[in-house]
Amino acid sequence: MSEVYRKWGRSVRREGEQLVLVDEAGEAIESDALFRTRALGDALDLRSPDANAVDGAAAEIESIVERPLIIERLFVSEGAVAHQFGDVGWRENTRRVHLSIARPPLRAIFDFAEFRFDALRRALPALIRAGKERKPPKKIRVAEHLGAALLPLTAIAKLQSTAPHDGKGQAIREQLAEHEPPNWFRPSYRVRPRKAWFHLRVAPFGAIDDDVPEAVALLAPVSRREIRVLCVDGRGAYPITVALRPIIAARPAATWYPFGAGAFGAELML
Amino acid sequence: MVRREELWVRGALAESRSSEGQAVTSGRKIVARDQIDDGELAGKLRADCDAEVDRLRSATEALKGARVRGVVTAIAAGVESTITITIDGVSVVTTPEEAAGDYDALKRLLRPPTAPPPTRPLPIVWRNGSGAVLLHEAIGHAAEHAHSGLQWPPWLRARDVARDGRVANLIDGEAPAALRRESFRDVPLRRMTSLHFEQVRAPFDLPPERIEVFLVSGGTYEPLSESVSIDVAVADHVSGKKAQRILPFTVHGLRIHISRALRGAAGDPIRYPGVICSREGQELYVASHAPVMVTAALR
């Protein structure tokens, strides 16, 4: 038996200085052994993404990044998407921001799903004054956008949050994220869907000590073994590499971030 | 642009993708969509692409023991096809003309490692054109990023040749001439196309104890620190007449250290079977050629 998925999308993205408008539709047909995709060459009445909002968000980022910082990579996008899987159809609007801000040899990376840049405003002054690498402090808390990046990789109790549709049109139900995920993640019609936990959020536990040093930016993509982060300790700021130790406290936040199949912000103390 | 991609696993088709579209650039704006306005051009590109896919299938149908990914892209300037052949997690990237030979060569090269990499750094002999990957990172990407030139050995030549024949002398700091993109959705970037590293009267002394590299699985250039990493997939530890296949390992070095570590080279450039270069999420094939090269120990 074959499963048929179709997707129609319109997007606007700022990539560096360029503004890219993309209009496309595609189909994925999956049987037991074979996965096929093709362009549909088909138009659907989709909302036009707001190019001015995208350009405005990029301009706002550029205004925040002051010398000696360099914008190494800037992707800001907005999209309108319609999906169809079998008889089920649904639509969504997306915003994404991916940034890499350098003060050589350091590079801070940020991913957001909103055009709000409070985390950037907090982190970049620390990047400007960052000193040499130090040993990690005994305890460290990580800002909510870093916690969201860590959530898919950490072995703490976390919940999948409710949402109307996964990549095969099924409802996503709230449940403890453990064992095999029941839902399918399909970031593009061109890739095979895979099982994943959606919209992870942490259950609060312990007490976060607001006086311990705070990691405010990722300096490298997270891995299962360690994180390399920019740490702020009073007026001091420095890079550290921390082995992924047990998490001793967690405080959930409401902002959603585009890591994996989605994760909500989480302040964590390690 | 019309593109077809197929993945064959042990002789069975597992994945098939086709796409087509156009991008129109006006100032800083690129308008891309999955239809080609010029119907005649679209028909020609589809026909060219399909013919090349047939040729690619013919060239790979006998490679039953491997995982084979073929990608054919047709644009107005011509057709490009690449084939990635993977056996036991080790890959080569090739063309329909070279696929059978490269498959046989890959099978001959694969044998189980019998030793870990030596604990102390040793000189490296880059065989099979693999030195092109080291220099792709250390010279090619540095040129893409307009990083300042270094003092490379006077016997070394480094050229990138675009599809239209334009040549960039990378040692002189010239950036690759071509703007390339993976798909119609992507922003074109200044990227390497076909790298030719050559030696002119280079010294060449084979160290009695050395590592000999045959295949690499990846390489990266970190533009902020100007450092290079090369993941070596197939290599031998050679000591006198004894050669032992060693486990995969990674070579790291600053670009300047690599320029100082080049000790010599011999012979004509050898086509290295495969570099898929990824930058800004866009994967492109870069043809690569280098003579047998010797570097001092790199950690």
Interface of A with B (CB under 8 A): 15-26, 33-41, 72-73, 102, 104-107, 190, 192
Decide if B117 is inside a domain: no
Say whether B34 and A34 touch across the interface (CB within 8 A): no
Decide if A113 is inside a domain: yes
Task: Reply yes or no on whether the pLDDT at B155 is more than 80.
Answer: yes
pLDDT digits (tens, 9 = 90+) for B214-223: 999 989 999 9
Question: Cβ of A174: how many Cβ atoms within 10 Å?
Answer: 11
Residue B65, pLDDT score: 85
Nearest by CB: A17 against B17, B28, B31? B28
Do B79 and B142 lie in one domain? The reply is: no
Quick one: B157 exposed, middle or buried, by C-beta within 10 A (0-12, 13-18, 19+)?
Answer: middle
Instruction: Return the percentage of chain B with pLDDT > 90, whole number.
Output: 85
Decide if B119 is inside a domain: no
Choose from B35, B71, B184, B278 for mutation: most chain A CBs within 10 A. B35
Q: What does the pLDDT average to over B20-46?
A: 95
Residue B64, pLDDT score: 86
How many domains does chain A fold into? 1
Residue A244, pLDDT score: 87
Domain boundary among B79, B109, B139: B109
Secondary-structure percent of chain B, ordered helix, strand, coil, rounded to 5 = 20, 45, 35
How many domains does chain B fold into? 2
Task: Tell me which amino acid residue B190 is.
Answer: R
Residue B89, pLDDT score: 86
Say whether A104 and B20 touch across the interface (CB within 8 A): no
Nearest by CB: A18 against B13, B35, B187? B187
Chain A residue numbers with beta carbons less than 8 Å from the beta carbon of B28 are 17-19
Domain range holding B27?
A: 2-109
Residues in chain A: 270
Say whether B224 and A102 touch across the interface (CB within 8 A): yes
Chain B residue numbers with beta carbons less than 8 Å from the beta carbon of A20 are 29-30, 32, 185, 187
Bridge partners, residue B227, by sequence: B222, B254
Decide if B132 is inside a domain: yes
A145: helix, coil or strand? helix
ipTM: 0.89
Interface of B with A (CB under 8 A): 12-21, 28-35, 185, 187, 223-225, 280
Angle between helical axes of A51-64 and A118-129 (0-180°, round to 10):
30
Nearest by CB: A24 against B12, B21, B225? B21
Do B33 and B10 lie in one domain? The reply is: yes
Decide if B116 is inside a domain: no
H or E, element range at B283: strand B282-285
Decide if A248 is inside a domain: yes
Decide if A33 is inside a domain: no
Domain range holding A143?
A: 51-76+97-269
Decide if A84 is inside a domain: no
Query: Which residue is it, tokens 């074979």?
Result: A34
Residue A235 to residue A220: CA distance in whole angstroms: 23
- Note down pLDDT in tens along chain A; length 270 residues: 799 999 999 999 999 999 999 999 999 999 988 999 999 987 788 999 999 999 999 999 999 999 999 999 999 999 999 999 999 999 999 999 999 999 999 999 999 999 999 999 999 999 999 999 999 999 999 999 999 999 988 888 999 999 999 999 999 999 999 989 999 999 999 999 999 999 999 999 999 999 999 999 999 999 988 999 999 998 899 999 999 888 999 999 999 999 999 999 999 999
Residue A184 to residue B57: CA distance in whole angstroms: 32
Nearest by CB: B34 against A25, A102, A106? A25
Decide if A22 is inside a domain: no
Do B63 and B138 lie in one domain? The reply is: no
Chain A residue numbers with beta carbons less than 8 Å from the beta carbon of B18 are 37-39
Residue B237, pLDDT score: 97
Say whether A18 and B19 touch across the interface (CB within 8 A): no
Chain B residue numbers with beta carbons less than 8 Å from the beta carbon of A19 are 28-30
Q: Which residues are within 8 A (CB) of A219 and not within 5 positions of it... i.e. 6 or more apart?
A: A106, A107, A108, A109, A228, A229, A230, A239
Chain B residue numbers with beta carbons less than 8 Å from the beta carbon of A74 are none
Q: Of A69, A118, A138, give the one whose Cα is nearest residue A216.
A: A118
Domain boundary among B64, B86, B109: B109
Residue B215 to residue B90: CA distance in whole angstroms: 8
Do B255 and B155 lie in one domain? The reply is: yes
Secondary-structure percent of chain A, ordered helix, strand, coil, rounded to 5 = 15, 45, 40
Decide if B114 is inside a domain: no
Nearest by CB: A104 against B13, B31, B224? B224
Do B183 and B280 lie in one domain? The reply is: yes
pLDDT digits (tens, 9 = 90+) for B243-277: 999 999 999 999 999 999 999 999 999 999 978 88
Residue B274, pLDDT score: 78
Do B129 and B264 lie in one domain? The reply is: yes
> What confidence category does residue B225 fall into, taking pLDDT thresholds of 50, 70 and 90?
very high
Do B43 and B162 lie in one domain? The reply is: no
Do B278 and B146 lie in one domain? The reply is: yes
Decide if A121 is inside a domain: yes
Residue A235, pLDDT score: 87
Q: How far away is chain B from the Cα of A23, in angstroms, using its nearest Cα?
A: 5
Q: How far is CA A9 from the centre of its chain?
A: 20
Do B153 and B27 lie in one domain? The reply is: no
* CB contact at 8 A, B153 and B182: no
Residue B149, pLDDT score: 83
Chain A residue numbers with beta carbons less than 8 Å from the beta carbon of B13 are 34
Do B180 and B144 lie in one domain? The reply is: yes
Residue A45, pLDDT score: 86
In this structure, what DSSP letter does residue B106 have?
Answer: H
Do B136 and B278 lie in one domain? The reply is: yes
Domain boundary among B54, B82, B109: B109
Reading the block at residue B18, the tokens are 């086709």
Decide if A19 is inside a domain: no
Do B103 and B243 lie in one domain? The reply is: no
Q: What does the pLDDT average to over B34-54?
A: 95
Decide if A237 is inside a domain: yes
> What confidence category does residue B299 fall into, taking pLDDT thresholds of 50, 70 and 90?
confident
- Mean of all residue pLDDT scores within chain B: 94
Decide if B178 is inside a domain: yes
Residue A68, pLDDT score: 94
Decide if B281 is inside a domain: yes
Chain A residue numbers with beta carbons less than 8 Å from the beta carbon of B17 are 36-38, 190
Residue B27, pLDDT score: 93
H or E, element range at A79: strand A70-85
Decide if B168 is inside a domain: yes
